[in-house]
Every structure is written in structure tokens, then in C-alpha cells.
Amino acid sequence: MKTHLLFAALLLLVLATQAARLAADAAAPPEPDLAAEAAAIGLRPAGESPDGLRLAAAPGCPQPVALATPTFDGLGAPDLRALRARGGPLKVVYLHQVTAAPHLLPLVARWAAASLRHTLGLRRAAVPRHYVVAALPPGCPALDGLDWARLSP
């Protein structure tokens, strides 16, 4: 009898938690919108390049910065290749960390760890599946000093 009650209670618990989660609004990951974040560090929108990259004019720099937001499921891979082809230094921004090269493995590891924390309730915001890559024009060392982490999704 005790076993019957225990498992009936467990079944009701699962039904209740699933119903509650279904009824609650899902927190969607933020959409990639760089305009506000880029403006915060002094970058102004400057149209698009011929290969479809977003361009931003940087203070004190004659050539624009090129920006892209590739995702972990492969979307935006051509943009990433176009950024690399420019030959200048890169800034890769994800979860408020900035690196100089878009190595996928460390990015995926950070994403997986953040997703696990979100699942366990240790991280409130949903984890974005995209990261930001900026290609800096050569000959503008002042751009290194910008707070690129503010572009973090």
C-alpha cells in the first residue's frame, strides 16, 4: 500500500511540475541586435559590406569594423569566413568573455556549462546560441582598448 501511495504521489508531482512549466512563459534567448551594444562602445552603424557583413564606423579609424553573429548550429558560417578573410585582428565575444580567435571548442564548452547551470536553476537568463565576432581594421590600435565585452549576447 505504501508503495502504491509513494508512486502515485511521484506521478502527481511530475504532472504538476510539467504542467506548471508548460503554463509559464518560456524565457527565450535574446535576439542578436548589436546596434545598441555597439553604440555603447562608440561604434556607429555604417551599412553593409559587399559580402553582407554589418559595418560599424569606429572613432579615429578610417576603415569600419565588420561584425557578425554566427550560431552554434552553423548559421552564419559564411560570415565568419568572410571576417577571417579580411586578415585583421578578431574579437570574439560570448558570455562577457573576449578572445582573439573563434575556436569553437572553448565556446561550445562555455555554452554547455552555462546551459547546465540554467537547467539546474543556477543561471536565470536563457543561454544564447550565438556569439559575436568583430573584425578590426589593421592600423587602428585604439580599437583594442574598447570594452568589447559589452557586445556579449
Q: Where on the chain is the footprint of other proteins (CB under 8 A)?
A: 3-4, 6-8, 10-11, 13-15, 17-22, 25-26, 28, 72-75, 77-78, 81, 104, 108, 112, 115-116, 119, 129
Residue 95 main-chain phi, psi, to 5 deg: 50, 45
Length of the chain measured in residues: 153
Give the nearest distance from C-beta 96 to other proteins in angstroms: 20
Question: Quick one: 21 or 62, whose CB is closer to other proteins?
Answer: 21
Q: Sheet containing 54-57: which strands, arranged edge to edge? A: 44-48, 54-57, 65-68, 132-135, 90-94, 97-99
Give the nearest distance from C-beta 70 to other proteins in angstroms: 10
Give the nearest distance from C-beta 126 to other proteins in angstroms: 11
Question: Quick one: 52 or 141, whose CB is closer to other proteins?
Answer: 52
Question: Quick one: 114 or 146, whose CB is closer to other proteins?
Answer: 114
| SS (HEC) of 81-95 | HHHHHCCCCEEEEEC
Distance separating alpha carbons of residues 76 and 81, to the nearest angstrom: 9
Question: Quick one: 40 or 112, whose CB is closer to other proteins?
Answer: 112
